[in-house]
Amino acid sequence: MFIDALVVVLCVVILIATVTFMVSYEEAPQVFDETERRQKLLHIVKNLRLSDMLNLLKIPLWKYIQAVPVNDIKRHVSACRGCIELDVCDGCLKKGVPEKDMSFCPNHKSLLVHARLLRDRQQTE
């Protein structure tokens, strides 16, 4: 009787372990895809004025890439690439301090929201 119960428990444990491994194995490519996607975005952002704007707003690039949703980063990249206020942006970035009126930057409001969220997250950790 004891051996029968032990065999049943052992079979259940093996079944649970097998299912858990299969689920983790199936999710593994998604994790790698997400990491690769963020690495590519890091490279893109580094080559845009966006990285300088993040620095100006005191948003660490690695935190931005790690924590901001990929769709938001893509939207920021697209807006930065399509920006027509390059002279104004370059002047602001050259000064090294944010202007009182940053409305020329299509990403400014969104970046401020993300900066606040990142600071709030850091304070709660």
State pLDDT tens for residues 44-89.
999 999 999 999 999 999 999 999 999 999 999 999 999 999 999 9
Which residue segment(s) compose the domain that 30 sits in?
2-124
pLDDT value of residue 22 = 54
pLDDT value of residue 18 = 62
Distance CA 93, CA 108 (A): 13
Q: Could you give the number of structural domains in the chain?
A: 1
pLDDT at 6 over 80: no
Helix intervals (H) in 1-125? 2-46, 49-56, 61-67, 70-81, 86-95, 108-124
pLDDT value of residue 11 = 63
pLDDT value of residue 20 = 60
